[in-house]
Amino acid sequence: MRQTKIEYAKNHEHSNIIEHWGKNDGIWAWQRFNQLFNHLPLAALIEQKIICMHGGIGRSIHSVEQIEKIERPINMDAGSVVLMDLLWSDPTENDSVEGLRPNARGPGLVTFGPDRVTDFCKRNKLQLIIRAHECVMDGFERFAQGQLITLFSATNYCGTAKNAGAVLVIGRGLVVVPKLIHLLPPPLEPETSPEYVEERHWMQELNNQRPPTPTRGRPQPDHDRSSLAYI
């Protein structure tokens, strides 16, 4: 588990989120992992030209240095707008929607337009932002005329999205090539088999307890906006 998280932190690694949606069984291990999460990098630079992050640049991030200056251990309670934007902001619906808009995820969160992406890349001499945070049906989706890519590697997210996944292969000259991970075919077991029913029930229970990551481009249900997962 530690190896899969070592690249950079995402928005569900804070202890408040884990405590709200998880259980505190094995409190010693729980505390140790949260100490580790609070020291993880929040972004990654590739050849000083491509930046990888979880959410986006939101309203407040104008330079890479702002991300570098975030103090460790990370403390969400400090209310850093930079940290909130980095972990929770999303691009607007499409390239025609510019500027900053309220984010349907909850109060205080924003979406950012292609003009923000262009300005950020120009200021920091970057050619691409790679981010996640939203399920996209083809596993990847370009934004801001290709200056931003949303990447999502989990197929059939939460057992309901029917999406493909993708990985990005970065080659010589920083050429980015998406590789699709196709959705698995339906199980051979009939839908009435005990194995299928048990798996379906488990996935439904999980989705009821924690609202899943929104599928980009689809209307979203009106989840409880007071929940930690939603804000």
Residues acting as catalytic residues:
12
- Dihedral sign for Cα atoms in the order 21, 23, 27, 33: negative
- How many CB atoms neighbour CB 102 within 10 A? 11
Distances (CA, A) of 80 to 20, 40, 84: 21, 16, 6
- What burial letters (b/e) apply to 187-225, b meaning 16+ CB within 10 Å? eeeeeeeeeeeeeeeeeeeeeeebbebbbbeeeeeebee
* Amino acid identity at 76: M
**Cα three-residue angle 53-173-9, rounded to 5 degrees:** 15
